Amino acid sequence: MALLIMLLFLAKGLLDKGCSFTEVSKDTVNTTELIAKLITQGNDIVDGIEKMFAAIDGSCSLLLLHKDGLYAARDRLGYTTLTIGKNENSIAVTSETCAFVNNDLKIDKYLQPGEIVLIAEDGLQQKRAGGKESQVCAFLWIYTGFPASNYEGINTEVVRERCGRFLARRDKDLDVDIVSGVPDSGIAHAIGYAMESGKPYRRPLVKYTPGYGRSYTPPTQETRDLVAKMKLISIEEIINGQKIIVCEDSIVRGTQLKNFTVKKLLDSGAKEIHVRPACPPLMFPCKYNLSTRSINELSARKAIKSIEGSDIEDVSEYTDHTSEKYKKMVDWIAKDIEVNSVKYQTVDDMVSAIGLEKEKLCLYCWTGKCPTSEGACCKKSSCAASK
């Protein structure tokens, strides 16, 4: 909803200046056309990209093919990364550095937030230096990024292993038989957990085929459920009678975890199930154009509504992992998904696992806080931090 409001606000500003849009559907405009129109408001391409960056509150890193060459520009606060790769004959740019490996390209440079470069026949030219402020999306390392990709010089798989290690350190007294991860993104978290705890890593659930799609992307709930049901197959010989750690990247709605993952483990005779999400409870949907969740469907919000009797505005007690209310919320979620325990990663452990300074990461999903430095905060009424 926040994204739609921002699109309409930007489109109205352009319409008021006499711009027109060729593609309008469902009361909104084509986002690529909107970005292009914003860029044309500048005196030249670089000025136009900067004007567009100033207008957009969120992720809008881009590649722009122009008669001068290829412009690559990372958004103002660097929510989405862009990286330059090189070999003797070529220069390439990508958001996922795994694309370089099999194409014999080496990472040459991570673009800084707000940095603009031009890749032309005579090589790479910097058109604008990057800024110091950064709000790179922490979810890249936790869930959305590809394991073989590096962002800001930090590899995703390695971060996930560190997340698992942090989770295991908080479980010193827990007696379990095996450690597992929900494929695919939970696997590296589980491997880290197993390495730290010394408990065996096993695969009670395997994917039907390695390439089976993500189950949250199909447009209807029916198709999402079908994908979730079919993609994982349980192995009773590994599960029966076992006390199992299940590492997961995150709990969004909790419905697929409950209805498919946990159910399959219980149906195959699991003795105990302990869920360990690699990030804290998701409290706020992304408002920077990187995900499509709505606030009411988040598992933590459902728990809060049940505990409080209605939706509440101020959830600060629930984001504090030392508070009683936080504990109640987590217990509610464990009961709801029918497992023996849930223990979330803390914000500080997640940040330590990533290895960047906290101030450089977007943590809005978990904290509801915008960048705090002067000028970077959106100060919009939709933002929890501005309340």
Query: Binding residues for ligand SF4, per CB under 6 A?
Result: 79, 137-139, 286, 288, 290-291, 362, 364-365
Closer CB to ligand SF4, 79 or 318, in the complex: 79
Closer CB to ligand SF4, 260 or 364, in the complex: 364
Token pair listed for 50: 């900067």
Closer CB to ligand SF4, 126 or 292, in the complex: 292
Please report, to the nearest 10 degrees, the dihedral formed by the alpha carbons of residues 148, 170, 344, 311 taken in order.
-160
Closer CB to ligand SF4, 6 or 91, in the complex: 6
CB of 248 to ligand SF4, least distance (A): 16
CB of 73 to ligand SF4, least distance (A): 17
Which three-class secondary structure state does DSSP give residue 379? coil
CB of 281 to ligand SF4, least distance (A): 13
CB of 284 to ligand SF4, least distance (A): 7
CB of 139 to ligand SF4, least distance (A): 4
CA distances from 246 to 104, 249, 260, 278, 301 (A): 37, 10, 13, 11, 22
Mapped to the 3 state alphabet, what secondary structure does 208-251 carry? CCCCCCCCCCCCCHHHHHHHHHHHEEECHHHHCCCEEEEEECCC
Q: Is the dihedral angle over the CA atoms 95, 283, 164, 349 positive or is it negative? A: positive
CB of 290 to ligand SF4, least distance (A): 4
CB of 13 to ligand SF4, least distance (A): 24
Question: Quick one: which of 110, 147, 144 has its CA closest to 289?
Answer: 144
Helices (H) and strands (E) in the chain, counts: 16, 19
> In this structure, what DSSP letter does residue 387 have?
-
Report the chain's C-alpha Rg in angstroms: 22
Which three-class secondary structure state does DSSP give residue 341? strand
Closer CB to ligand SF4, 138 or 167, in the complex: 138
Beta bridge partners of 24: 29
Closer CB to ligand SF4, 194 or 351, in the complex: 351
Closer CB to ligand SF4, 79 or 260, in the complex: 79
Q: Which residues contact 386 (CB under 8 A, 6 or more apart)?
A: 370, 377, 378, 379, 380
Question: Quick one: which of 367, 342, 358, 339 has its CA closest to 276?
Answer: 342
Closer CB to ligand SF4, 36 or 385, in the complex: 385
Rounded Cα–Cα distance for residues 125 and 129 (Å):
11
Rounded Cα–Cα distance for residues 306 and 291 (Å):
25
Rounded Cα–Cα distance for residues 284 and 296 (Å):
9
CB of 90 to ligand SF4, least distance (A): 31
Rounded Cα–Cα distance for residues 231 and 229 (Å):
6
Closer CB to ligand SF4, 85 or 186, in the complex: 186
Which three-class secondary structure state does DSSP give residue 150? strand
CB of 204 to ligand SF4, least distance (A): 29
Closer CB to ligand SF4, 318 or 364, in the complex: 364
CB of 367 to ligand SF4, least distance (A): 9
Helix (H) or strand (E) holding 321: none
